[in-house]
Amino acid sequence: MRIALASDAANRRSRRLRWTAMAAAMLAIGLGAAVFETPRNRLVAVATGNRAPVLDIGIQFKDLHPIHQQRSAALETGRLVISDAAAPVTLKLNGQSVQARLRLVAGPIEDLAGDKWPMGLRVAKGEHLFGQRALTLTPVSSESLVDALFLEHLGRLEGLSARLLLVDAVLNGRRLGTMALAELPSTELLERQQRRDGVVVRVNEKGDVRGDASRVAVALEPKRIGSSRQLTADLARAQEILAAAIGRTRPADQLFDAESMGRFLAVAEHWNRASLLHWDQLRFYLNPMTSRLEPIGAAYSPSSTETAAAKRTQPLSITETPFMKQMLANPKIRAAFETTTREIATEFSDGTAWSRATEQERSLRRLLNRDDPRSPDDVLTALQSARRHDDSASPRQRDSGTAHVAAPDPLYESNDPLDPLPHRSIEEVLARHPFLDWDPVEQSFRARPGNHGVRGSIILPDGAGLRMSSGTVLRFEPRAGLIARGPLRFDGSADAPIVLEGPPGTKRSQLWSGVYLIESERDSHWKHVVVRNTSGFKRAGWSLPGGVVFRKTHVELDHCAFLNSLADDALNLVRTTFALRDIEVQGAASDAVDFDYSEGRIEGALISQAAGDGFDLGGSRVEMSDVRVADIEDKAVSVGERSELVVRALDVDRVSIGIASKNSSRARVSDSTFRRVSLVGLIAYRNQTVYESAVIFADGNRFEQTARQALAELGSRIVVDGDEWPVADISIASVAAVAATE
């Protein structure tokens, strides 16, 4: 397997445009041909065959009776009182059976008069349905069908987006007919869409937005967040951000991720999803890497007092939505919105996408009309309401509204919990760091050769790069660091490397933070660079645990060393393409190198003396060759969460575990040596039920002084030199415990 690397930002933009073009062909997926992943199979509803996956709900009468009582009370009073109590049910779908809990959820009261009640499903811990634990099951309407188109399109443009699927619902043997099964924003959604675990919030409908920020927003998974000190702190920050957004006390791009918000608004406008652009409908993810909120596309969620007629005929215009006006008043969000709008216009300009939607609409009508006389008379009418490329409604001509903008913080180092990653102007950077010069042609700063003490952090403006040449040494103050939003081009030499370090000493309070490249369309190249004694970033309640972090860019590191890091990851690449050559990571307090949703190759590396893993892959594809990993307390290479690893000539010495493949991952290892491995050389297993089993293919490897060569959990596979390794009928909760029984 060869991994295709994006050589520059233009290639990445080209790939994104190709995905955009594919969205036209995939629009139908959001409706009747939606695909949800499950560890054992992929379940597809085929609208053209007039059938959908059958979801069978089994519930005992004693548990169903309270739900009937709650439903009757709602029909009498015209208001559904939502209860936290939920009834145990068994869900069956294509041979898969899971335990869950069911309760009524908000929706038009008249929906309770029929058989298709709006229901919430929460799958039992350790189980899942379609790779998800929290879902809603509601009657189908034109709203939900266009929502499906919107959500699929948003997801194809890399926006955070929930999924929606049509299913054939059955309750205790009685067929209810076609219903919409929608996932709720959750940890599983974030991981599937390459985001780190974090907080998802919504506006508290019962809160006083003029009062305490903690009453403005509520978490969607409060129990999970309450069990984590860091997530609890993130929730408090998310609440402050939402309070500032509602009160318009800060520029919107300081509160929201401008690119994801602009993309969300452009796709919402295209599908005319005005009903989703209200505070009570919006859901937000606080990205811990940017400390900005990102909108999450989700299906429309009506209130329990709203009538079905009002829901389906309410004359909402997206141009009248205060939320869109407020967001587009911000120049950065508007720029991202207009860029995405142009991409969408190109995608639909020839009419091909609309003809496909028309064809799909016919089959959907056949699917829906057989079940419910209230089914949409013409779904296509709703779809075509989104086809509004009307110059008179151009966003440039809309009332942008007004917003109070807070004065900039006069302090260079930010202690503001709402803005721990502040933006700086070129003039501010030059005034703060006199050893830097500005190149307007290249749009980059240049550091003059020599030794420089850095006062505070170097925080570069949006898109601005930084160049350094041989012999340059930057010595940062404690807790300070380099934060960039543009390319870092560091060109050192073997006899005069570039050095980035903090003050002398090894106490955590004396260490500098490190380097964080937030995002850059232009590539970064490092050659002969030494980074010493990083601790990770921590300020104003925000933290970034990596010592050197590259996010959403392309980076090439050649003969670089990362030494004595006390951060959780000495080197961390997130949603990044990369090429690493002859790198060294030594003395890591936790993991040495961490790849999150990244893709690339490593040719030559020395990883030694790490208290965690040598390499940790999550959702990544990596090739590596001629790599030595020694004196590692945990795993030499951890391959997890749908990762792929191809490794040749790996030299492993004095580790606990050689290569671990887990949770839908695949590893291929050849011509490698494993010496003095205390637990097991190769191990394949699954420890999260939302994933499938794991696989390792091993050819031509040598094992010396290794406690156990291989261990495969039942369901996973290890193939050694063409022969299947015997599986162990065990649940691998602790590899050390397993090895101790041998």
Mean pLDDT of the region 614-639: 95
SS3 track for 461-517:
EECCEEEEECCCEEEECCCCEEEEECCEEEECCCCCCEEEECCCCCCHHHCECEEEE
Kindly state the helix (H) or strand (E) to which residue 312 belongs, with its residue range: helix 308-313
Q: Quote the CA–CA distance of 352 and 514 in Å, as a whole number.
A: 49
Q: What pLDDT is stored for residue 699 in this prediction?
A: 94
- Report whether pLDDT(658) > 90: yes
Amino acid at 711: L
Q: What burial class does residue 100 get, using C-beta atoms within 10 Å of its C-beta: 0-12 exposed, 13-18 middle, 19+ buried?
A: buried
Q: What pLDDT is stored for residue 356 in this prediction?
A: 60
The CA–CA distances, whole Å, from 672 to 311, 665, 675, 704 equal 63, 19, 10, 11
More confident residue, 595 or 135: 595
The CA–CA distances, whole Å, from 95 to 40, 129, 135, 410 equal 10, 12, 19, 62
- Report whether pLDDT(36) > 70: no
Q: What pLDDT is stored for residue 572 in this prediction?
A: 95
Q: What is the pLDDT of residues 427-486, one digit of tens each?
A: 999 999 999 999 999 999 999 999 999 998 999 999 999 999 999 999 999 989 999 999
- Whether residue 583 contacts residue 570, with contact meaning beta carbons closer than 8 Å, is answered with no
Mean predicted lDDT score pLDDT of the chain: 79
Name, in order, each residue with C-beta under 8 angstroms of 378's C-beta and a sequence gap of 6 or more: 361, 365
Kindly state the helix (H) or strand (E) to which residue 579 belongs, with its residue range: strand 577-588
Mean pLDDT lowest among 60-69, 168-177, 393-402, 598-607: 393-402
**Coil, strand, or helix at residue 360?**
helix
Name, in order, each residue with C-beta under 8 angstroms of 565's C-beta and a sequence gap of 6 or more: 514, 531, 533, 534, 535, 547, 585, 587, 588, 589
- Report whether pLDDT(147) > 70: yes
- Whether residue 436 contacts residue 449, with contact meaning beta carbons closer than 8 Å, is answered with no
Mean pLDDT of the region 38-67: 62
- Report whether pLDDT(12) > 60: no
Q: What pLDDT is stored for residue 6 in this prediction?
A: 38
More confident residue, 639 or 416: 639
368: confidence class by pLDDT, cuts 50, 70, 90: low
User: What domains, with CATH codes, occur in the chain?
Assistant: 9-397 (no CATH), 431-661 (2.160.20.10)
- Whether residue 466 contacts residue 439, with contact meaning beta carbons closer than 8 Å, is answered with no
Q: What is the pLDDT of residues 323-355, one digit of tens each?
A: 888 999 999 999 999 999 888 887 777 666 666
- Report whether pLDDT(740) > 50: no
Q: What is the pLDDT of residues 503-542, one digit of tens each?
A: 876 666 678 999 999 999 999 999 999 999 999 988 767 8
Structure tokens at 574: 């997130």
